[in-house]
Structure 1
């Protein structure tokens, strides 16, 4: 099983943002630090998740466990619902992508267990500024 840790971060709310994605499995580990446009922290979290899903699909990973410290993303995916209309298109895209896996898990983890993805997201912000 592939384990994917993702995090979105913003310097300001909204502000320059970044996505951090750390993938491990099959005896390998790889990190991605992707600059994003100016957006809120919650938007950055959703974008990081979508990018992580797309990377896994591109690499043809079929059984994947995603980990996030974003309660909003975790809860929204679990319930397939988000109150804020601004996040609805992002949730819909994430749900559509997640359905393409043979086995898909999303688990909330504390920030202390998501340090690799957090560091990658912060590096992406520096590159976005």
Structure 2
């Protein structure tokens, strides 16, 4: 089983955003810092999850334990529903990948204090208007 930590961050709400993915595996971990356009922090969390799942699919992982400090994301995935229409297409794509690309995917909420590596990656991916990170 692969452990995957995800986080989204934005500089402002909304503001320039970034996604951080830390995939813990034997050997070298995979670290992804992915810049996102202007969006809210919650939207960035959904994008981080989606990017992580795509990467896990590319790597050929079959059993994934996804960990995030975004309660809204965990609740949406577990209920397979979200009220906010902005997040609905993202949730739909997340669920489609989870249902078709893997044998098992588990999602678990963790406190932010346990998600430091993904948080650092997400914050490092934010590209501010002046081009600074």
TM (norm. structure 2) is 0.93
How far apart, CA to CA, are the structure 2 residues paired with 1:108 and 1:49?
12
Corresponding residue SS for 1:97:
helix
Residue 79 of structure 1 is matched in structure 2 by 79
- Which position in structure 1 is the counterpart of 2:16? 16
Q: Deviations over 1:3-44 (max 9, x none)?
A: 000000000011000000000113331211000000011110
Q: Does 1:57 align with 2:54?
A: no
1:102 and 1:4 map into 2 onto residues whose CA distance is 15
Q: Does 1:96 align with 2:96?
A: yes
Match of 1:112 in 2: 113
When the two structures are aligned, how many residues end up with a matched partner?
129
Counterpart-to-counterpart distance in 1, 2:4 and 2:25: 9
RMSD after superposition: 1.2
- Report the Cα distance in structure 2 between the residues aligned to 1:23 and 1:11, rounded to whole angstroms: 24
Q: Is the 8 A contact 1:23 1:29 kept in 2?
A: yes
> Unaligned regions of 5+ residues in structure 2, if any?
none
In the alignment, structure 1 segments of 5+ residues that lack a partner are none
Task: Tell me, in whole angstroms, the C-alpha distance in 2 between the residues paired with 1:103 and 1:88.
Answer: 22
- C-alpha contact 2:16 2:128 (8 A) present in aligned 1: no
Moved over 2 A (4+): 126-129
2:66 corresponding residue in structure 1: 66
Distance 1:121 1:4 in 2: 14
Match of 2:48 in 1: 48
Aligned mates of 1:104, 1:57 — CA distance in 2: 11
CA distance in 2 between partners of 1:101 and 1:16 (Å): 31
Shift, 1:103, TM fit: 1.3
